[in-house]
């Protein structure tokens, strides 16, 4: 499954919308996503599972690049 992860680079600060970044990741579950990103010390705001039409829409985006973790 493909997941879209919304995060902040600084784990010790309050999230600010304008600083939110996104990565796309292939994983088995939301828990697996968190495990794969644990060593990066990111402030994960939201993890969204992408499938069907939503996944196809995201793939057409110029920002869609699967992170290799």
Q: Which of 3, 6, 4 is nearest to 44 (CA)?
A: 6
3-state secondary structure of 19: helix
Which residue carries 């304008």 as its tokens? 18
Note the pLDDT tens digit of each residue in 20-67.
999 999 999 999 999 999 999 899 999 999 999 999 999 999 989 999
Alpha carbon distance 69, 52 (integer Å): 23
The count of structural domains within the chain is 1
pTM greater than 0.75: yes
Q: What is the CA radius of gyration of the chain?
A: 12
Q: What CA–CA distance (Å, rounded) separates 11 from 48?
A: 19
CATH, residue 20: 3.10.20.730
pLDDT of 13 strictly over 90: no
Domain that holds residue 41: 2-67
């Amino acid at each position: 499954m493909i997941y879209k992860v919304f995060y902040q680079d600084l784990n010790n600060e309050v999230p600010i919308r304008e600083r939110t970044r996104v990565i796309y990741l292939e994983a088995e579950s939301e828990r697996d996503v968190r495990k794969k990103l644990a060593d990066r010390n990111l402030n994960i705001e939201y993890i969204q599972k992408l499938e069907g039409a939503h996944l196809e829409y995201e793939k057409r985006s110029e920002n869609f690049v699967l992170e290799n973790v």
